[in-house]
Structure 1
């Protein structure tokens, strides 16, 4: 239960739901016990009046006795109905308090988990897969809700009913009470054992279902590759195999359940037989009345459902504890990137790296080694280098997605770790290497970084990103719905929509992380011309592989192995006749070869 202590704050928050809920549980169970006593009195009335009715055979008063007898039974029956109606009303109130409280706790927990997820750093998401994060926020929270709602409700209900029923039984006759309750401990043990087996098999079914769902989701997401390699028959066979595993586990669960319910009914029947047999002997001895036997049979049947709930409640608590442990593992994680407290106005875009060294914490790969450079406000700076040289790492560090191991990064002369994180990042426009678009309209994807959507601004951003003509050719234009991850669009269109999303913010610093690779040279030139106009007086950083893209940059940084090996303008770097000049010559040669092949 130590993991479930986390929920105490919610119980305190909703205490005015729990207290009335417990009150309604007690009242509803009182109205559940009283009808058994009424039935006992009614049964005694029947047995006694039948004898009196027989004695008055042939007398006129016999009809009067019959009328009194009938009216008494009617009133007893009506009283039982009223008592059960009152029980139903209080059961309704019980569910409206405790179950509704569990839904409020579920809502609060999901919001807390989601908010905490957003506070965690980028490295956290590199270490954990999306499916696991989603399961902790959905499946695990649902299991915890089953504990704070149904499990607690049935546990309190069972406890109160047990106390009331056992007190009522022993107040009538302790011997009969002991014999009537004799099979119930055995029933509790069987239920606990069977529920453990059911829980284990349910877990296996859930795991198999998750594998099956993941398999289907992955294959449908990669349907183009699947069809291109003609692997439909193979995947169909794998799916059938996974489905067979799910079917086998499900059949095993059904067999256990099929054995469980007859066993439970057998033990309940045994308890009833013992009640009638021992009770009959007690009646002969004059210790109890026949009505008490009827009363006890009602009590035994009333205890059957709560006893069967004990195993289920125990299972719910075990599962909730395991789920809450998984939830706590992430909720107790502290963000690796802690926001500074310094409030700043609009940044100018003067960026300075001072002896920066950085190693990715999850892989141990040293991405940058003692790097120093400066970018002045309004400069167009390009970063070029081989794959894995540390170009994207520079962009991540500028936006403080990670903190450096050594050295300092300063914005307008202030260390960025002292600045308010959200305010600092909000002034960047970032176009990542791997474009991500949401399953929404094109307009909403472009205006993603804004609180309010302005149609004119969206259109202008699309024009600046050279994607406007593509969009208006669609049937629904800017209202076109994009598929998952923007699959509706081509690679170049996705990149340009992503560029429009960055430009519409009118950022103080714009970072392009190799995001022009999927566009042709003519479109690239148009975007760069628009970029020069939009970002005039603001800082632009372009990470690229093609030298033709960055020739006009004010400064070019050449990276290799996490170090800056050259820096300067295009003309200066060619004069150095070093790595940059070699890359330039290789790309010219490649372009000439491609042109010759085309001819």
Structure 2
């Protein structure tokens, strides 16, 4: 239960749902036990009335006895019916409080998990796959809900009913009660042993379900690659293997449960047999009445449900504990990026890297080594270098997606760690290398970073990104729905929509992480020309592979193996005749080859 202790805060929050629910449970069970006593009295009445009816055989009084007997029987029948109706009414109220409470807790838990996912850093998402994240927020939460709702409801119901029934049984006859309850210890041991197996198998099943969800999500995301390489059959076979493993584990669990419930019913049936046998001897000895046997049989049958529920509830609690343990593993993770400052700061855009080094925590790869540079506000800086030289890492550090391993980054002469991170990012535009668009309209994708963006702002941003005419060519224009990850658009169109999404914010600092690679030279020139107007007086950083993209930059950083090997303007770097000049020469040769 230690893992489920996390839920105590919800129980405190919804205590005014739990307290009435418990009261309704108690009342409903009182109305459930009383009918057994009524039936016992009715059974005695029938026995006595039959004897009296036989005694008056041949007399006129026999009809009067029959009339009294019929009315008494009708009275007892109506009384039992009314008691069960009252029990049903309070059971309804019980479910309306405890089950509804569980749905509120489920809602709160999902919000808590999603909110916590939001504050965790990129390193967390690099270490965990999407399918597992989804499974903990859906399947695991649902299993926990079964604990806070049905499991707790039936546990309370079972406990109350058990106490009331056993008290009633012992108040009638102690010896008969002991014999009737004799199979219960065996039942308790059986439940313990079986549910130990259930919890182990449940944890394995949950793990397999996460793997299966991750597999499916990944394959659907990469469906174009699968089709391109004609790997549908191979994917189906792999899925079949994963699915078979999950199915076999579930079948093993079901086999255990299939043996479990009949065993419980057998032991309860044994209690009934003992009740009739021992009760019959007690009646012969005059210790109890025949009605008491009928009453005990009702009690024993009433215990069938709580005893059956005991196994089911135990299973639910153990499965919920396993799921809550998985949820707690993520909820206990603290974000690696913490921003406590709430003061706002009007960003000017001055950037200062001082001996910055960075090593990815999950892989141990050192991406930056002693990087130092300054960029004055309102200037245009470009970063170029071979693949893996640390360009994208530099952009991630500027956005404080990670904290530096060594060294410091200063924004407007303030350490980036001391800034209000939310305020800083709101004033920063970022166009990532890997474009991500949502399954939404083009309009909503462009307006993503701005609340209540006007149509004019959206159109202007699309024009600045040179994608307006493409959008106007679509049947539904800006209301065109995009597929998952923007699959409806071409690579270049996706990049330009992503640029428009950054520009609509009118940022003070904008970072382009190699986001013009999928557009042609003419479109690139158009975008850069528009950017020159929009970002005039604002700090701009472009990470690129093509020198044609960056040759007009105020400062160019040339990176290699995580270090800045050269920096200066286009002309200055060409004069150095170093790495930059070599890249420039190779790109000119490539252009000549393409022309010829």
Q: Distance in 1 between matches of 2:564 and 2:254?
A: 66
Instruction: Encode CA deviations 1:109-129: one digit per residue, 9 max, x unaligned.
Output: 211121122112222222222
User: CA–CA distance in 2 between the matches of 1:194 and 1:38?
Assistant: 37
Deviation, 1:185, is 2.4
What corresponds to 1:18 in structure 2?
18
Aligned partner of 2:309 in structure 1 is 309
Q: CA deviation at 1:453?
A: 3.0
Alignment of 1:83-98 (within 5 A): 83-98=83-98
Which consecutive unaligned segments of at least 5 residues does structure 2 have? none
What's 1:502 paired with? 502
Contact 2:132 2:211 in 1 (8 A): no
CA distance in 2, matches of 1:208, 1:361: 27
Note if 1:330 corresponds to 2:330.
Answer: yes
Q: Is the 8 A contact 2:384 2:391 kept in 1?
A: yes
Q: Which runs of 5+ in 1 are unaligned?
A: none
Matched, 1:384 2:384: yes
1:21 aligns to what SS in structure 2? helix
Q: Go from structure 1 to structure 2 and tell me whether the alpha carbon gap of 1:132 and 1:350 turns closer, same or farther (over 3 Å shift).
A: same
Q: Distance in 1 between matches of 2:84 and 2:64?
A: 30
User: Residue 227 and residue 471 in structure 1: after superposition, are their counterparts in 2 closer, same or farther (change >3 A)?
Assistant: same
Q: What secondary structure, in the 3-state scheme, does the structure 1 residue paired with 2:374 have?
A: strand
Aligned-residue RMSD, C-alpha:
1.8
Q: In structure 2, do the counterparts of structure 1 residues 566 and 324 end up closer, same or farther at CA, with 3 Å as the change threshold?
A: same
Residue 548 of structure 2 is matched in structure 1 by 548
* 1:480 corresponds to: 480
- 2:493 and 2:10 map into 1 onto residues whose CA distance is 47
The 10-residue stretch of structure 1 (359-368 or 242-251) with the greater mean CA deviation from structure 2: 242-251
8 Å Cα contact 2:135/2:210 also seen in 1: no
- Alpha-carbon contact 2:198-2:315 (below 8 Å) kept: no
> Is 114-123 or 456-465 further displaced after alignment?
114-123
Q: Structure 1 pair 145/300, CA: closer, same or farther in 2 (3 Å)?
A: same
Question: Which residue is equivalent to 2:362?
Answer: 362
Q: In structure 1, how many angstroms separate the alpha carbons of the residues matched to 2:70 and 2:256?
A: 48
Distance 1:240 1:112 in 2: 34
Q: Distance in 2 between matches of 1:364 and 1:262?
A: 56
Contact persistence 1:340–1:417 (CA under 8 A): no
- Residue-pair matches, total: 596
Using the alignment, how far apart are the partners of 1:63 and 1:488 within structure 2? 88
Name the SS for the 2:378 alignment partner.
Answer: coil
With 474-483 and 210-219 compared, the bigger mean Cα shift is at: 210-219
Shift of 1:390: 1.1
The aligned residue for residue 594 of structure 1 is: 594
Mapped partners of 2:482, 2:196: distance in 1? 46
The correspondence of residues 36-435 of structure 1 with structure 2, limited to 5 A, is: 36-341=36-341, 343-435=343-435
1:186 CA drift (Å): 2.1
Matched, 1:526 2:526: yes
Equivalent-residue separation in structure 2 for 1:256 and 1:509 (angstroms): 62
**Aligned pair in 2 of structure 1 residues 28, 121: CA closer, same or farther (>3 Å)?**
same
Give the structure-1-normalised TM-score.
Answer: 0.96
For the Cα contact (< 8 Å) 2:380–2:539, is it kept in 1? yes
Distance 1:237 1:107 in 2: 37
Q: Distance in 1 between matches of 2:98 and 2:508?
A: 52
Contact 2:446-2:500 at 8 Å conserved across structures: yes
* C-alpha deviation, 1:95, in angstroms: 1.1
Task: Report the CA distance shift for 1:203/1:356 in structure 2 as closer, same or farther (over 3 A).
Answer: closer
For 1:438, the equivalent position in structure 2 comes to 438
Is the partner of 1:515 in helix, strand or coil? coil
1:565 alignment partner, SS class: strand
Partner Cα separation in structure 1 for residue 234 and residue 8 of structure 2? 51
Which range moved further: 145-154 or 495-504?
145-154
SS of structure 2 residue aligned to 1:556: strand
Cα 1:141–1:368 shift into 2, 3 Å? same
In the aligned structure 1, how far is the partner of 2:491 from the partner of 2:395?
Answer: 22
Residues 143 and 31 of structure 1, relative CA distance in 2, 3 Å threshold: same
- 453-462 or 318-327, which deviates more: 318-327
Q: Contact 1:360 / 1:367 at 8 angstroms: preserved in 2?
A: yes
| Structure 1: distance between partners of 2:152 and 2:12 | 15
Task: State whether residues 442 and 482 of structure 1, in contact with CA within 8 Å, keep that contact through their aligned partners in structure 2.
Answer: yes
Using the alignment, how far apart are the partners of 1:262 and 1:330 within structure 2? 39
Q: What secondary structure does 2:373 align onto? A: strand
